[in-house]
Structure 1
């Protein structure tokens, strides 16, 4: 149990407020993995926490369509990733996401809207 606390503290140190937001999103089942068939390509759709309940498409390792990604991660370089990317990573690690199957064409259409 002590190891889990140390691990959580380390993640909080690395990701700050984004870690708290990401864990809330995962706890509220706000992550979906959209997988395309037959290619197997996928992207995550992650719920925002604002009143508008926006959904953000993101590649967990290197992109999110949210404002914070462009402002805090890309522009200012103050964060390693946004909370949506972190939520996608956590959900993938825990297997705690909804699975959505689409065609390759449907995934391409989703991506064209980013």
Structure 2
């Protein structure tokens, strides 16, 4: 897979944030430039503690559950780097290619980098059942 220049810049910034578990104004500005309104939504979700990391034992596999911003407060399962179960992911990212990722993926990535998520531990079997519903 060939990564776009935008993806490479974003990846470099995520690595910086991962290494320090903090985010500075320059990094926030650049991520906002790359992701626009999706990044704004993601920061609101993270600020509201809307990201849960569901970790399976004993495998260590995990997925994020991200609360949406609509009044319904729907929960979306996502892998930060490459998948979200929301409509926007399929419409804007996969079908139209207009976005690099959706706001739920960004929220999961930001929360993971900053360590600002709630963690829930489940069995491998429970995670498998959860994944089978996607």
CA offsets 1:20-59 (integer angstroms, 9 cap, x no match):
0000000000000000001000000000000111000000
Structure 1, unaligned runs of 5 or more: none
Query: Residue 30 of structure 1 corresponds to which residue in structure 2?
Result: 50
Q: 2:37 aligns with which of 1, 14, 17?
A: 17
**TM-score scaled by structure 2?**
0.82
Aligned length: 112
Structure 2, unaligned runs of 5 or more: 1-22
**TM-score scaled by structure 1?**
0.96
RMSD over aligned CA atoms reads 1.0
Aligned: 1:105 with 2:125: yes
Q: Please give the alpha-carbon distance, in whole angstroms, between the structure 2 residues aligned to 1:4 and 1:38.
A: 35
